[in-house]
Amino acid sequence: MGDHSHGDPNTSGTVATAGQGQVEKFQDPGLPPHRPRLADRDPRAEKRAERQVAILFAISVIGTLLFFVGYFSIHLDETTAVSTIRLQNLLLGLGTAFAMLGIGVGIVHWAKTLMPDHEVAEERHEIRPEEDRQVAEKMIGQILDESGIKRRPLIRNTLIGAGVLAILPAIGIFRDLSKNIDPDILRHTMWDKGVRLTRDPEGTPIKASDVTIGSAFHVIPEGLNELHEGKLNEKTKSVVLLMRLNPADLHVSPGREDWNYNGIVAYSKICTHVGCPVALYEQQTHHLLCPCHQSTFDLTQECKVIFGPASHPLPQLPITVDSEGYLVAQSDFHEPVGPSFWERG
Amino acid sequence: MKALSQRRRHPLAALALLLLGLLVTGGLYAVAGTVNEAKAQTTTYSAQDVEEGEKLFVANCATCHGLGAVGAREGAHGNQAGPSLIGVGAAAVDFQVGTGRMPMQMSGPQAQVKPKQFNEEQTGQLAAYVASLGAGPAVPSEEVLDTTKGDAAKGGELFRTNCAMCHNANAAGGALTRGKYAPSLEGVTGEHIYEAMVTGPQNMPVFNDANISPEGKRDIITFLKTIEAQGSPGGAALGSLGPVAEGLFIWTAGLGVIIGFTIWLTQRSS
């Protein structure tokens, strides 16, 4: 073997020295030789390819028929079972898929096997950059000249002013798309002094004695089910999770001593990250987990965030019992529920 | 017989044999299932049941739960041992032992389902013993488990409000914090589902009769059995786990199909 001490390929004794001593130039290899396809040579193969294309188109026809079977033979009304609707979805989807796929695959197969396959070379356009640039420059110069925009500043300035102003109405129009622009609606919920805590979805009131240790109740405010307008909007703000712990497990901060009732606590179910319902309650670890981004709240520490992207604790609903023993709210939440917003403060 | 032996090399013979095998196995399972159902669960325990149950308890459970089921704070290796079982009721025993979760094989984030360690009679005896220690939820009666009387639509509403956040909208289960998880409810008997609701096993909250009435629980079980029977018309439900499983499928299988088409499109015909 030769000398490896040189790194330069041109002087190394071991590395092949292809191209050395002659001008390096890429040679156009030209088109590969034309190779006739099976269908070009064998009439039986041609016949077979023809049949295959026809079969693919027939598959498309069957797909379309399948779609109409699903569309017309399954009637949807109030009593239709969900599984029937899903079956219809399946038929419509499969039918459309095969209808499209059959045509597409058939056409491609047709073109590949049966249509002429002679090679064609197309010459590139010549590039004339300098010439073209000059022509364009001349045209723009002529436009500027003839419009006289440089000579008549009054016209130019009024045009700029009109253009800027004309955009402004769009801001108003798009702003109107959001009717709920007033951030104060995010600060208040249906909860108020004396509003009973009721079961979701029935709306029946809950006695304090019903809530045994380890229980979790999904709660809506009394009167929510009677709302006709904006019921879902109100529900998304006011849903509450009610749980009972051993009072000794609760670490209550000053000022919140009477917010729980014998270890029964109520917290907003709306995650303070992006508003998913935090309802995965673990009754032994007292963790509340948000299923969307795994924010974890510790119920014993007034729903402090112990993991995940949420930024502040879940708001607590102060509760007590009324004269009949039913759980009622003492007031609304003391802070806005759900994720942060610009004006939250 | 001769005709049969002559056809044994027929191309469809293997298929016919396979179908026959499947039919026989399925039939046997169906028969075994009805036999199990026929055994009525009695909730009245005799003094002898309690006595036998105590023996089983001392031999198998007292290491962690303590003699007299008062609970033990520290286990053999200094970790948290079993809680007190006074007042958990027969339903808790029937659920934990009947699903094989107890006796626990090893400590971990939560007790795992495994083959049952005790037969139905022994489970009943253990339940009798624990029920005798203090009042607690009893094993549910047949009346509240009868899914023919339940309302699946109402049950679906209750399920989506109270259960779906942990157990998934299709009851396929889901993850909780630090290694714990809500198990899939597919194939779980109505009795065990009912018992889990009233006793709140592991980290599951308790849904007592004041929260969800026995009829409501029956509706939930009816809903679960209905969606289980409906299955998936498309074939593979991908575990019903939602966007993650479906996204993974379409990104791998879907892109694979697209790549396959691209290769085919650019290939010369032979």
Q: Which of B178, B210, B268 sits opposite A210 (nearest CB)?
A: B210
| A189 token code pair | 């919920």
B112 touches chain A (CB under 8 A): no
- Interchain CB distance below 8 Å, A284 and B234: no
pLDDT tens by residue, A245-292: 999 999 999 989 899 999 999 999 999 999 999 989 998 889 999 988
Q: Partners of A328 in the beta sheet?
A: A196, A320
Asked if the model's pLDDT at residue A12 lies above 70, the reply is no
What confidence tens digit (pLDDT) does each residue in A24-37 have?
A: 788 888 778 888 88
- Dist. CA B205–CA B163, nearest whole Å: 10
Nearest to A282 among B177, B208, B270 (CB): B177
**A218: nearest Cα among B166, B109, B170, B46:** B166
pLDDT over 50 at B73, yes or no:
yes
CB interface of B with A, residues 176-195, below 8 Å: 176-178, 180, 182
**Residues of B with Cβ-Cβ distance to A287 under 8 angstroms:** 176-177
Given an 8 Å threshold on Cβ–Cβ distance, is A216 in contact with B174? no
pLDDT tens digits, A303-334: 999 999 998 999 999 999 999 999 999 999 99
Task: Check CB contact of B36 with chain A, cutoff 8 Å.
Answer: no
pLDDT at B256 over 90: yes
DSSP one-letter code for A207 = B
Which candidate, A247, A245, A227, A246, places its Cα nearest to that of A236?
A227
Contacts of B208 in chain A (CB under 8 A): 210, 212, 215
CA distances from B238 to A234, B167, B247 (A): 35, 16, 10
B35 contact A CB<8A: no
pLDDT for A21 beyond 70: no
B158 touches chain A (CB under 8 A): yes
Residue range B100-133, pLDDT digits in tens: 998 888 878 888 888 988 998 899 999 999 998 8
Q: Is ipTM > 0.90 here?
A: no
pLDDT of residue A14: 52
Amino acid occupying residue B162: N
Query: How high is the pLDDT of residue B35?
Result: 42
Say whether pLDDT at B39 is over 70: no
So what's the pLDDT on residue B29? 67
What is the Cα gyration radius of chain B?
24
Name the pLDDT band for B32 (thresholds 50, 70, 90). Answer: low
Beta strands in A215-335 (DSSP E): 216-221, 240-244, 264-268, 280-282, 287-289, 296-298, 304-307, 319-321, 327-329
Report pLDDT for A45. Answer: 92
Distances (CA, A) of B34 to B27, B40, B188: 11, 11, 16
- Give the span between the Cα atoms of B233 and A86, in whole angstroms: 7
Per-residue model confidence as pLDDT tens digits over A56-89: 999 999 999 999 999 999 888 888 877 788 889 9
Q: Does B145 touch chain A (CB under 8 A)?
A: no
The verdict on a CB contact (< 8 Å) between B158 and A37 is: no
User: Which residue of A215, A236, A264, A290 to mutate against B (max B Cβ within 10 Å)?
Assistant: A215
Has residue B40 got a pLDDT over 50? no
pLDDT at A103 over 90: yes
**Cross-chain residue pair A86–B232, CB shorter than 8 Å:** yes
